[in-house]
Structure 1
Amino acid sequence: MTGGLWSWEQAAAALPPILEGFRVTLVATVVGMVIAAVLGLVIALVRRSAGRWLTVPVGLFVELVRSTPLLVQLVFVYLMLPSVPALVIGCTVLGVHYATYLSEVYRAGIEAVPRGQWEAATALDLPRARVWRAVVLPQAVRNTLPGLGNYAISMFKETPYLFSISVVEMFTAAQQYGAATFDYTEALTMVGLIFLAVSYPTSLLVRRMENRLA
């Protein structure tokens, strides 16, 4: 324990466990975002194309996920599946949670495709699967890239919730270091700076992407 407000020695000592936690944070974000991007597209297509026998239960599931906190979902699934590794549960719950929001982003992207292109594809008698694959989805995904980027940043900043299921991500690693040394200031400050160093440039990139697509 140091007597001053800040110690560079403590900051340097806290960095290795924090960087190991950052690796876990990055894995959870990347894997969770892949799940969210794929599942969100599936949900959007199902809710747009399938019959009521499927759209109704999918819609209810989406509303259930959106209406309950991510923290509650993590703990609930963790308790229901005690034999599954905590990081696997964390990535999956993050992915499913954000998929329900990305499905709306995809829906907006699909609806942004000009109506004339749908009509032209129909006039050319293109198979429905090819219309989606070659005409609609490429434009819809392009329109949704800024939204995907924003949600990726949000997911990255919500990974500290994984502490609730015993995953040692970056924030938890800093807390554990502080508990062992009674020096929380340096460790938590380093975590905040890493979050800022990753999130802020990414948000600028997303903003530039939005301006370019606009």
Structure 2
Amino acid sequence: MNSEWKWDFAFQILPQMLWATLNTIMAAGIGYAIAAIVGLLFLLGQRTPYKIINVMVREIVEFIRSTPLLIQLFFVYFVGPQFGITLSAWVSAMITIGLHFGTYLSEVYRGALEGVPKTQWEACRALNFTTLYTYRRIVLPQAFPIAIPGMGNYLVGIFKDTPLLSTIGVAELFHAATAVGGYHYRYLEPYTIVGIIFLILSVPAAMGIRKLERSVNKAQGKVKS
């Protein structure tokens, strides 16, 4: 019966699933790197002395955050060519993930900066520190521990959202499982393996982020003391 688990079939397709896992990890890593940079740009755009730029960037951030990632993927990949912008599935996926999660990371950055006591900023201005020195030596070391949980959550979030990339043909883990299931007319084993792989990778990642957070906070405590 097709409803019975077949170990021989599971081991047969396992190498293909593991190979696709590398694509998934690479997609999540590249997407997160782009999102981290885009988030910083969005943050800077909202902290300029020009109000019109602040408002424009804020509206762009809210618009991207308010629309589903799947719709954004379809728009970039399928609608883009109608405007003369033709991108490969991989490039479309990385740009979309970067923009989508960049908006969320910009809010994480903003919250972390606002978490730094105002007295720190005032003291830097009173001591006539430059803006660069203020951020590099005073503000960012205090803001980074605040930002770690949010940044870590979105890293895991990007990883868990990579199956959406299969909708535009990116050969990640879920795409490979669907292809294997369609070819062999068996979906139990490939989809179960996908779930197990995501669990194996996501849980240690979340634990590692929490450990990093504790280590940074502990280091900050030693510095303050």
Asked if the contact 1:78–1:86 (Cα under 8 Å) also holds between the matched residues in 2, the reply is yes
Match status 1:93 vs 2:96: yes
Q: Secondary structure at the match of 2:67?
A: coil
Read off the aligned partner of 1:174 and give its amino acid letter. Answer: A
Report the Cα distance in structure 2 between the residues aligned to 1:41 and 1:9, rounded to whole angstroms: 48
C-alpha deviations, 1:31-60, integer Å up to 9, x for none?
110111111122122212341121111111
Asked if the contact 2:145–2:213 (Cα under 8 Å) also holds between the matched residues in 1, the reply is no
Shift of the 180–147 alpha-carbon distance from structure 1 to 2, 3 Å rule, reads same
Query: 1:124 maps to which residue?
Result: 127
Query: 1:177 maps to which residue?
Result: 180
C-alpha deviations, 1:93-133, integer Å up to 9, x for none?
11110111111111110011122221221111011232123
Shift of the 28–3 alpha-carbon distance from structure 1 to 2, 3 Å rule, reads closer
Match status 1:197 vs 2:200: yes
Aligned-pair CA distance for 1:148: 0.7
Report the Cα distance in structure 2 between the residues aligned to 1:12 and 1:124, rounded to whole angstroms: 65
Query: 1:77 maps to which residue?
Result: 76
User: RMSD of the TM alignment (CA)?
Assistant: 1.7
C-alpha deviations, 1:64-120, integer Å up to 9, x for none?
101111000001000204632211110111111011111111111001112222122
Report the Cα distance in structure 2 between the residues aligned to 1:104 and 1:96, rounded to whole angstroms: 13
TM-score, normalised relative to structure 1: 0.92
Read off the aligned partner of 1:119 and give its amino acid letter. Answer: E
Asked if the contact 1:121–1:131 (Cα under 8 Å) also holds between the matched residues in 2, the reply is yes
Shift of the 74–118 alpha-carbon distance from structure 1 to 2, 3 Å rule, reads same
Asked if the contact 2:28–2:155 (Cα under 8 Å) also holds between the matched residues in 1, the reply is yes
Instruction: Work out which structure has the larger RCO, using CA pairs closer than 8 Å and 6 or more positions apart in sequence.
Output: 1
Report the Cα distance in structure 2 between the residues aligned to 1:32 and 1:50, rounded to whole angstroms: 30
Q: Any residues of structure 2 matched to 1:1-214 within 5 Å, and which?
A: 3=2, 5-79=4-78, 80-81=80-81, 83-211=86-214, 213=217
Report the Cα distance in structure 1 between the residues aligned to 2:87 and 2:197, rounded to whole angstroms: 29
Q: Structure 1: where are the runs of 5+ without partners?
A: none
Q: Secondary structure at the match of 1:163?
A: helix
Asked if the contact 2:45–2:53 (Cα under 8 Å) also holds between the matched residues in 1, the reply is yes
Read off the aligned partner of 1:124 and give its amino acid letter. Answer: L
C-alpha deviations, 1:122-167, integer Å up to 9, x for none?
1110112321232212322232112111110011000000011111
Read off the aligned partner of 1:24 and give its amino acid letter. Answer: N
Q: Secondary structure at the match of 1:68?
A: coil
Q: Structure 2: where are the runs of 5+ without partners?
A: 219-225
Asked if the contact 2:72–2:96 (Cα under 8 Å) also holds between the matched residues in 1, the reply is yes
Report the Cα distance in structure 2 between the residues aligned to 1:166 and 1:78, rounded to whole angstroms: 10
Read off the aligned partner of 1:70 and give its amino acid letter. Answer: L
* Count of residues in correspondence between the two structures: 213
Over the matched positions of the two proteins, sequence identity in percent amounts to 41
